[in-house]
Amino acid sequence: MNQDKKNIEDVGEFGFIRSIMNDCLRSGGDVIQAIGDDCAVIGPYGGKVLLITTDLLIEDVHFMMGKIAPVHLGEKAVAVNLSDIAAMGGKPRHLFVSLAVPSHMAMGVLRSLYDGMKEICRRYRVNLLGGDTSSSPRGLFINVTVVGEAAKDEVLYRKGASPGDHICVTGTLGDSAVGLKLLKGELSAPRKLRQVFIDAQSRPAPQLKKAGLIAQSRLATSMIDISDGLVSDLDHICGASQVGARIFRERLPLSREMRTLCRTKRIDPYSFAISGGEDYQLLFTVPERHVGELNSLFRKKRIPVPVDIGEITAVAGIACVWPDGSESEIREKGFDHFRPS
């Protein structure tokens, strides 16, 4: 079938991105990385490079106004972009915000939204420099663009993983996916547990300190942040690096709250960990010979050591290793805007 006659839901979000990658550069002398990673990379300039990322949040697609406080929405809109900078091993510096706002939206809501943005910018020493504002015929649209920087030799890309590398994550998985189900009324939980999951969904924390340590060590071979889900984002690393992967199901890090809720509800917590999105932890690869050295650096800084969840293979595809040692291909995928869930 002619590609132009397909609907975007036929090819999916990432198929669409691949279809537009060619013929974008007109003078690419200083473009190190264009479409295809968490940030564009431009430079170098005096040993450093610019990192640029942008992200769009749309009401009733990425958030529900009645389910998230505007101040937390402001925080999240910035945090998900800072996480992209972290995924490349960089430091965020400047931020631009564009809004499309329904005419009936109260000024108090917008001020609260910006209070959240300003608070997280203060926390990470990022300048909010401007943007654009427009009316919206339906719903709130938030577009954030962040400019960061990194040492040229410390930037981490999705490409670079090699067979034998260990696959590591910087924190627990799946809590945000549970939080989304709670917000949508598809799951229930006691109040104390519920708040933990809602916070994971509504107030993600970009792992900038851990990213800096990984990048400065120069021991990792690739990195990405987990936004679309563990398997989906690992698949991005595998595709860019032309490798495959094996992950060990029982090694996937789960929070105490996740284990408690899933035990009570008699549901499988690993399904959330494998395909749930918006964890915003870092997923990276490191050669086996460097794992101990990297872990020692984390211990010296008194930062929790990353969790080793698997290994890169030469065979395409992502396999799950079960507790009995058997393997099966993982067919679950993470979030795709244009594919039915």
Beta bridge mates, 57: 142
Question: Which superfamily does CATH assign the domain made up of 166-329 to?
Answer: PurM-like C-terminal domain (3.90.650.10)
Identity of the amino acid at 199: D
Neighbour count for residue 134 (Cβ, 10 Å): 9
Q: Which pTM was predicted? A: 0.91
CATH number, domain 3-154, options 3.40.50.300, 3.30.1330.10, 3.90.1660.10, 3.40.50.720: 3.30.1330.10
The H or E element containing residue 178 is helix 175-183
Q: Per residue in 296-335, is it b (16+ CB within 10 Å) or e — as a string?
A: eebeeeeeeebbbbbbbbeeeebbbbeeeeeeeebeebbb
Beta bridge mates, 125: none
| Max intra-chain CA distance, the chain | 59
Minimal CA–CA distance to 140: which of 178, 187, 97?
97
Query: C-alpha angle 202/203/206, rounded to 5°?
Result: 130
Q: What pLDDT is recorded for position 334?
A: 56
DSSP secondary structure, 295-324, as one string: HHHHHHTT-PPPEEEEEEESSSSEEEE-TT
Question: Phi, psi (5° rounding) for residue 189?
Answer: -160, 155
Collapse the DSSP code of 266 into the 3-class scheme (helix H, G, I; strand E, B; otherwise coil) and give the result: coil
Beta strands across the sheet bearing 31-33: 31-33, 40-45, 48-58, 141-151, 91-101, 127-135
Instruction: Kindly list the domain boundaries of the chain, sorted by start residue.
Output: 3-154, 166-329
Identity of the amino acid at 93: R
Read off the pLDDT of residues 318-337 as tens digits, 9 standing for 90 and up.
Answer: 999 999 999 999 876 655 55
Q: Which residues contact 302 (CB under 8 A, 6 or more apart)?
A: none
Q: What pLDDT is recorded for position 6?
A: 72
Read off the pLDDT of residues 112-147 as tens digits, 9 standing for 90 and up.
Answer: 999 999 999 999 999 999 999 999 999 999 999 999
pLDDT tens series, the chain, 341 aa: 556 667 767 666 667 767 766 766 667 679 999 888 999 999 999 999 999 999 999 999 999 999 999 999 999 999 999 999 999 999 999 999 999 999 999 999 999 999 999 999 999 999 999 999 999 999 999 999 999 999 999 999 999 999 999 999 999 999 999 999 999 999 999 998 999 999 999 999 999 999 999 999 999 999 999 999 999 999 999 999 999 999 999 999 999 999 999 999 999 999 999 999 999 999 999 999 999 999 999 999 999 999 999 999 999 999 999 999 999 998 766 555 545 55
